[in-house]
Each structure stands twice: as C-alpha cells, then as structure tokens.
A and B are shown apart, each in its own frame.
Chain A
C-alpha cells in the first residue's frame, strides 16, 4: 500500500461544476495535510493546509479531513478553466519531523468550458 494515494485521474469537469479530489494515507499518526496545485511545467504551489478533522474553506476551495477514515479531500466549487492543473496531496506522516512531506501521485484536473 502506498503511503499517500490519490484517486486516479484524469478528472474532467465542466466549467462551473464542483471538482472533488480525494486522498488516503496509510499512517494513522499523521497530523498535517496539504494540497498543492502544479501547472504543467511549473513547480507545486500550496493552496490549502488542514490539521483538524472537519472542513476548512478558503474561497472556492474546501479541504475536508477525516482522520478516523484516513481520508482527506479537496473540493473546488465553481470550477474555472484556470483550475486545470495537477493536484498533489501531501502528508507529514506520523513519526517524521522537520516538515517532511510525502506526496501522492497527483490527480490531473481538466475544466472544460
């Protein structure tokens, strides 16, 4: 089992729809969770972080964390073509220190007009 696993893509949604991206992780002791966006040929950029169970909203983005199910998700409301990118789930696994991120394989999102 991979330490951090994302739902296989690519994911295609129409403009204005809700895009749902999912991620599971293997280590129950993990405490810190992040979503990065990576445009083609560019470096990853942080869009959301979440540390507690529940929802965290930032503009059109909502991160959801369920530690009991070892599951974290990202919802993008009112999706725009500019949201088309690869979304990377990253976790600081339990027992690691100094902010070491373990990434999932990424989900490619395409928002079509």
Chain B
C-alpha cells in the first residue's frame, strides 16, 4: 500500500511571499488532516476534511491560510502571505474512516522556512 505523499519536501521563502503544499492521501481514505509541527512541539491540527467537506478548521489562521480537497482526494494547503512564525513542518495525514479507532497515517511532511 502506497503511503501518504507530500510535496515539496523542503521550501524556503521570504516573509510576505506565498507558498502551497500538496498532499495525496492513501487510496480510499476518507479523512485527511493537515498538521503544523513547530520545532520542539507536538503537531497541531490546522484543518480536517471528511471526503471533500471541512470537519474542523478551528485552529486554521484563516486570514492567511487556506486549504481545499478537490473531489475528496488530493489536498492543497496555501499560506499567503507567510510570516516568520509559519516556519514549521507541515504534516498531512489520512485515515480510512475518521472514526476514533481508525489510525492516522502521516506523510513525510514539508519543512517550510520563512526568512
């Protein structure tokens, strides 16, 4: 079974620029998550999709972050404009059903550095 695919692996941008990350979940997984992990901290959920609908985006800074999941499969996360504090690893995860017993599978992440 192919895992969760993310690209790019690394991205360096200047503050106020925009950036986009892409995620392809495991085939058949209905639930997709974007987490932000700042160095030395645990992952923090930004947004959660069930199929192509948003379930939870309560911690997404909506003035600068946006995300979509086209046709309930791939997803993109965008930051515009970026701030220095957005430097982090952005992890995409998917699960089969999104139930409490359905484990999350993480991609390798995108490491973003904002200078």
Contacts and interface: CB of A to CB of B under 8 A. Distances in A.
Dominant SS among interface residues on chain B: loop
Interface in B4-54: 31, 33, 40-45, 48, 50
Given A32-B101, A43-B106, A45-B106, A98 B31 contact: yes
Nearest to A6: B42
Interface of A: 4, 31-32, 34, 42-46, 49, 51, 88, 90, 92, 96-106
A105 B97 CA distance: 26
A103 B42 contact: yes
Most buried by A among B50, B104, B107: B104
Contacts of B102: 99
A97 B107 contact: no
Given A99-B95, A100-B56, A106 B41 contact: yes
B55 A97 contact: yes
Contact of A43 (B33, B48, B109): B109
Contact of B41 (A32, A46, A92, A105): A105
A43 to B, nearest CB: 4
B41 A99 contact: no
